[in-house]
Structure formats: structure tokens, C-alpha cells
Amino acid sequence: MPSPYVFKTVELDGLSIRTVVRPGQSTLAPLLIFNGIGANFELIFPFIEALDPDLQVIAFDAPGVGGSSTPQRPYRFSGLARLAARLLDTLNYGQVNVIGVSWGGGLAQQFAHDYPQRCRKLILAATAAGAVMVPGKPKVLWSMASPRRYVDPSHVMRIAPLVYGGGFRRDPHLALKHAATARSAGKLGYYWQLFAALGWTSIHWLHKLRQPTLVLAGDDDPLIPLVNMRLLAWRIPNAQLHIIDDGHLFLITRPHAIAPVIMKFLAEPT
């Protein structure tokens, strides 16, 4: 692992939560990352490396993902937001900027709503407002319902162009690299994450979010069609939409293109 990273396991709610911090000297608030479903934080390292090296970054494996233990009962997004706030307390952080990716975008919305004093700015990448959304194609959604892509590299190679689009359609090596970095904690944790988002929606309170918000969207996203990000940008009062020519995982496939957009947004005065 890169030497600047600090790894720590935190005990919360009887669970071991695996965390990583990249220290920094920036005057900006630290950036807290809520990753996608089933994704261990190593998958997001290319994006972290593309950010300003002085920016402090915090990430963690959600319960049942990567190196974190699996709970006996599932959390809902509200419970996971509360767990994240307690995690920040334990790591001695107050206010942070938040970025949520895909499934983590729902959790980021919940965190910004439940803990507005702790969320300075909000970044939503390749995500939607939950149950009230325009879904992707049934075949794509069916592929996402199973954790198989995190345990079977050959399966990832087959479905990545269909599910992720963008760069994964053009470069088969991206899927192989993605599969090599993935770390599964077992099927149950993945299903618990699916349950966290089951029936959840933010559509009825998005207008209450007051954080400056950057909505990032890929124009070739088979999983979260672009109209969903347009809806988020329309419903959140202080939001701006940025569209990138890529698919669902543009933070990984084009980190050097998207990182300057994010750094500019974080540096803007609130």
C-alpha cells in the first residue's frame, strides 16, 4: 500500500470497521468517502491519488464489506449515517466534505440530511434519489443484485461493459484490474447493503439540503441513467451538475479528469 496512508480498525456497535486516512496539510475540510455497494476502499485509491496531495481523505469499509466485520442484522441508511458520525467522532474529526459514489451516494444524502452541521459540502457521483428513480435496464439491475462480480474475476470480465459502460466498454484491462483489487467479505454483507437501500428515497427531503452540492454524472452509465442525476441537481437547492464522457465508474476510469473539477468545487467559498 502507498506509505502515506494510515490504516486503523475501529470498534463500533460490536463491529470492527476498517478505516484508512490519507493525511494532508490543506486548509480545506477533510473529504469523507462513501463507497459503492460491495466495494472495499482500495478500489477508490486511483481517485484519491488524483486529488490534491494536501487534501486529507477519509474512507472506510462499510459493515460486511472488505475488511470490516459483518453485522448480525442489517442497517438502514439512517443507521449507517449514524455509524459514520460516530466513526468521525472516534477518529477525532468534526466537519467534513462528503462524496458518495453510487450506493454510497444514497448514504451521503442521508448523512447530509441527518448531520447537516457535520457535512460542509456534498458531492454525489453516479447516484440517484433511491426508489424514486428511472432504473437501468433489467439485465443490468439483475447483475447488480448478486455479489458474484466481487468473487469471480471471470464474471467481472463478462459483465463489466454491460454494467459499468464507459471506459469498461473500450478497455477490457480495466475490468481485470478492478477484479484484482476487489476484496469480498462474503455474500451476506452485500445483501445487507441491498437491504439498507430497499424502499429508501430522498426525493421528499432533497429540497431541505442546504449544503453546496456537486452532482457528477457519466453520460454512458447503464446502471444510473443520466436523468436521475439531473433530477438530483434540480431538487437540491444549491446544486450544480457536471457531466463527464464516461460510464458508471468514472472516478476510477478517469480520475485525473474529474479530480480538478472536485478540487475546484471544494475550494469555492460557501
Which of 102, 143, 184, 202 does the annotation list as catalytic? 102
Collapse the DSSP code of 192 into the 3-class scheme (helix H, G, I; strand E, B; otherwise coil) and give the result.
helix
Which residue is associated with the grid cell 430497499? 198
Q: Report DSSP state, residue 208.
A: G
Q: Counting beta carbons within 10 angstroms of the beta carbon of residue 73, is it exposed (0 to 12), middle (13 to 18) or buried (19 or more)?
A: exposed
SS3 for 93-126, per residue? Answer: CCCEEEEEECHHHHHHHHHHHHCCCCEEEEEEEC
Q: What share of the chain is helix, strand, coil (3-state, %, to 5)?
A: 45, 20, 40
Residue 235, CB-side half-sphere exposure with 13 Å CA sphere:
21
Length of the chain: 270
Quote the radius of gyration of the chain (alpha carbons, Å): 17
Measured at the CA of 247, the angle between CA 215 and CA 198, to 5 degrees, comes to 65
Helices (H), 94-235: 103-114, 138-144, 153-164, 167-170, 172-181, 187-197, 226-235
Catalytic residue flag (residue 102): yes
Catalytic residues: 102
